[in-house]
């Protein structure tokens, strides 16, 4: 696979061609945009013999493109052209020619590049999608190249990056009494606390909802223990889980849960996460 793909195009369609380059790069095929005028004054040095050059020109007779062909050939890069004119000089000098339909431009004067540039964008997207298939490009790869914004977060953010842990993690032993349970929940500001044994293994979880429920039932007094208060079968998630997947599972339950414990493969409690924490991350 070639190291990168370069493309040359005329100034008036530069922005649309940049989109093709961006799509290729973001889907795993390194690509750069290079204007012919810049290439003619030294920037052609970015090209290597391993590269593919995609030259886009409806007529295939653009002088600024044709003037660069000897340089491309001397470097040893491959030349692929997108053109509507199979008999053009550009097509004849290319290693591969992609013939685009000859369309009437949408411009009422039939001068401004409109329909032809749209066809080029479609073909560019098709190339990018084919390369994704060939590379077996996965969601994880996409996330690697899109770290910012909601899309990137949903694909790449792990639950370990969101959960409360270490000193911020609320946890009590089974024999802990109500006063200390309330103190732990209040100080850690999580609305819940995990109940663990001496080895750190999760036994259950106590939420402020559980406490209010016992109070409403008249079953709450100072002697009650964590073991008596806890839910022994809470919904829990493994460390390393995708944060957005956790959020969806918490929200999609018949009775959505507001907090959930995070455990390792040995069921040791390592964190607690709330829907509020997840939403604050912009998921």
For 149, counting Cβ atoms within 10 Å of its Cβ (0-12 exposed, 13-18 middle, 19+ buried), the class is: exposed
Which two three-digit tokens encode residue 122?
A: 């479609």
Give the Cβ contact number of residue 160 at 10 Å: 16
**Contacts of 194 by beta carbon, 8 Å cutoff, 6+ apart:** 169, 170, 171, 172, 202, 204, 205, 261, 269, 272
User: In this structure, is the dihedral angle defined by the CA atoms of residues 273, 280, 244 and 253, taken in order, positive or negative?
Assistant: positive
Distance (Å, whole) CA 74 – CA 71: 5
Q: Whole-angstrom Cα distance, residue 188 to residue 194?
A: 11
Would you state the structure tokens that stand for residue 271, as one six-digit string? 């964190």
| 146 has binding-site annotation | no
- Tally the residues of the chain: 283
Question: Residues annotated as binding site?
Answer: 35
Question: Residues annotated as binding site for Zn(2+)?
Answer: 35
């Amino acid at each position: 696979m070639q190291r990168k793909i370069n493309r040359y195009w005329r100034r008036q369609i530069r922005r649309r061609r940049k989109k093709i380059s961006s799509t290729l790069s973001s889907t795993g095929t390194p690509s750069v945009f290079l204007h012919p005028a810049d290439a003619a004054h030294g920037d052609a040095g970015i090209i290597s013999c391993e590269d593919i050059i995609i030259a886009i020109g409806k007529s295939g007779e653009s002088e600024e493109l044709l003037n660069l062909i000897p340089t491309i050939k001397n470097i040893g890069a491959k030349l692929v052209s997108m053109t509507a004119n199979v008999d053009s000089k550009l097509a004849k000098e290319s290693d591969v020619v992609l013939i685009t339909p000859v369309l009437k431009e949408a411009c009422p004067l039939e001068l401004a590049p409109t329909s032809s540039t749209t066809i080029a964008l479609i073909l560019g997207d098709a190339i990018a999608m084919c390369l994704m298939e060939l590379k077996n490009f996965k969601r994880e790869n996409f996330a690697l190249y899109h770290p910012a914004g909601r899309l990137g977060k949903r694909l790449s953010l792990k639950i370990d990056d969101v959960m409360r842990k270490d000193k911020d993690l609320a946890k009590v032993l089974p024999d802990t009494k109500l006063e200390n349970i309330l103190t732990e929940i209040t100080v850690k500001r999580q609305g819940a606390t995990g109940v663990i044994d001496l080895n750190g293994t999760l036994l259950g979880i106590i939420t402020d909802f559980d406490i209010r429920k016992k109070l409403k039932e008249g079953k709450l007094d100072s002697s009650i223990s964590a073991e008596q208060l806890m839910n022994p079968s809470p919904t829990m998630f493994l460390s390393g889980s995708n944060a957005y997947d956790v959020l969806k599972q918490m929200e999609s339950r018949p009775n959505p849960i507001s907090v959930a414990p995070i455990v390792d493969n040995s069921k040791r409690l390592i964190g607690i996460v709330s829907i509020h924490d997840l939403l604050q991350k912009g998921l």
